[in-house]
Amino acid sequence: MNQDHIQNVFLAFANHSCRSDPENLKKIFHEIEQNFYTDEIEFTRARAMISLITTLAKIKNAITAAELIEEILPPKMSFFQKAAINTAFDAIYRYRDDYCETSCSFRNRRSRWGDELFSGPNRLNCVECEQLEFAEILEQIINGHGYREIDQFSSLINSGFDYIRTGVELFESGGKTDVKEKVYLQFPEVLGLEISSIKCGFNEYFRDIMAYSLSKFLMQRENNRLRLKQCAWCSMFDTAGKAQKTRISPKTNKAYLTFCSGTSCKDDYYRDRRKGRKRGVANVEGSNPG
């Protein structure tokens, strides 16, 4: 575990969209494993839960998912197996039974993003909803908003760290002994079947981890927030100190466009701009003013 790379956790959550591919949930959890301590048994349980959540997310329908689970699983299951399934369902389909409209603490997301993201077969599931808001928080930090101006950020860091506890350990390096923080991660308890929705489930587990990861990164060095960038071409977030920059028009509210370092994003962006200008010229020349 290397807390010097703690930003990799929240970057994975922001950059690997579970909406585009539910398998990305496993990539996110891989980064969590690299940056937190826990008992291997706990991580084994978590991996199994992540795999189940990924399967359920691909179905995109709570009723269909429930029917499929009933078909493929043995009729006799232990309490833990049944509770684990309920926990996985809650992570993806907590919105069932009008939870979003009546009970969710973040009901204002619907008014901000529009009803179309919260209805129909392609609606946001609960993990995707958390990811979308987290990306919004990063964008507002990048755009220079003060932390107190970002309501979602205050809500994120004030949610408490129910699944995280910190300690210290002696660390040997280069013949020297140092003291470093050691961060332990607790896996959330599975839910009994009588609990239709809870305040401390897998979504809160991820929310705690991302809140800690982002806060820790912002506190590591003064002005660390200035290292946070978003690529103007692929929209990926990064904290690399050597991101590519290019100056743009002073008429805009940004002095620079930023692109991923070590990639073709900058070239691709301007290649697309040139193609767009050529298409515009062709359309004008081919138009009939009469």
* 148: number of Cβ within 10 Å: 8
Give residue limits of the domains in the chain.
3-225, 228-290
Burial 75-102 (b: 16+ CB within 10 A, else e): eeeeeeeebbbbbbbbbbbbbbeebbee
- Give the CA distances from residue 191 to residues 36, 63, 195, 239, in Å, rounded to whole numbers and listed in that order: 24, 19, 6, 37
What local confidence, expressed as pLDDT, does residue 74 receive? 67
| Residue 7: predicted pLDDT | 93
Q: Are the C-beta atoms of residues 101 and 115 closer than 8 Å to each other?
A: no
pLDDT computed for residue 244 by the predictor: 57
The pLDDT value given to residue 28? 95
Which tokens belong to 114? 């529009």
Token representation of residue 19: 């909406």
CB atoms within 10 A of CB 249: 7
Closest CA to 6 of 33, 35, 46, 28: 35
Unique residue bearing structure tokens 């964008």? 139
Residues contacting 288, CB < 8 A, separation 6+: none
Q: Are 62 and 93 in contact (CB under 8 A)?
A: yes
Distance CA 229, CA 217 (A): 13
pLDDT at 290: 42
* Cβ neighbours, 10 Å, residue 110: 18
Q: Give me the helices (H) in the chain, please.
A: 7-15, 24-35, 40-59, 62-72, 79-93, 99-102, 108-113, 126-142, 151-157, 202-220, 265-286
Angle of helix 7-15 versus helix 24-35 axis, rounded to 10? 170
Distance CA 4, CA 161 (A): 20
The ranges of the chain with pLDDT < 70 are: 1-4, 72-74, 160, 188-200, 241-256, 277-290
286 is written with which tokens?
């081919």
d(CA 81, CA 73): 10
Rg (CA), the chain: 22
Query: 3-state DSSP call for residue 256?
Result: strand
- Structure-token match 């392609």, residue found: 122
